[in-house]
Amino acid sequence: VESPGGEVGGLFDLVEAIRTIKHSSGKPLWAVASETALSAAYAIASAADQIIVTRTGELGSVGIVAVHLDASGADAMAGLKWTLIHAGARKTDGNPHEPLSPRATADLQDDVDALYDDLVAVVAANRGISSTAVRATEAAIYRGEKAVKAGLTDRVGTLAQAIADLEAALDAKRIRAGPPRNRTAVREFPSPARTLAMIPTNPLIDDTGAEPPED
């Protein structure tokens, strides 16, 4: 994983889909933060059975942010005055051409809080830790060993080490399971009928096919 995160749209459905595929396939799923798995990217990585982070890799930033840009001052300096003609009192809430109203601020905060609750719940469930522990990170970013101590990752290692360890784990599992069963059904056909030639008995030839010695 090498991502600082991104938009929340589709995130929770994607994480759920990954978990469903992991459980239905029965295959191990490991994630390596090399070098960054933050915010939405960390939520995706958390669906893995194990998370490995490089020594300088970054994990966390489990939080939600919404941004409003108030460009009304820049508009005024540019001699621009916007008139928004709309129906529905909240249709233009959050538009960049006027300051954010108290009502729009409260609505946006409610949305951020709800998404944060969902994100915390997903990460906590995937990592097997409490929601309180996830909230206690305060959306901080942790590097290497500090991420291990925070419970956000299992260990520090490189991508190459993770691949080697996964291969070793799979080999050990194969040894314990024994040789694979032959699941391919083989249909056995009877041998084709053979025509036996009836050879007349030769009294001068014994059972071994050798001629009797002469007197």
Residues designated catalytic: 39, 91
Rg (CA), the chain: 35
CB 160 within 8 A of CB 150: no
Query: Position of tokens 């300051």?
Result: 99
HEC assignment per residue over the chain: CEECCCCCCCHHHHHHHHHHHHHHHCCCCEEEECCEEECHHHHHHCCCCEEEECCCCEEECCCCCCCCCCCHHHHHHCCCCCCCCCCCCCCCCCCCCCCCCHHHHHHHHHHHHHHHHHHHHHHHHHHCCCHHHHHHCCCCEEECHHHHHCCCCCEECCHHHHHHHHHHHHHHHHHHHCCCCCCCCCCCCCCCCCCCCCCCCCCCCCCCCCCCCCC
Please report, in angstroms and rounded to a whole number, the separation of the first and last CA atoms in the chain: 97
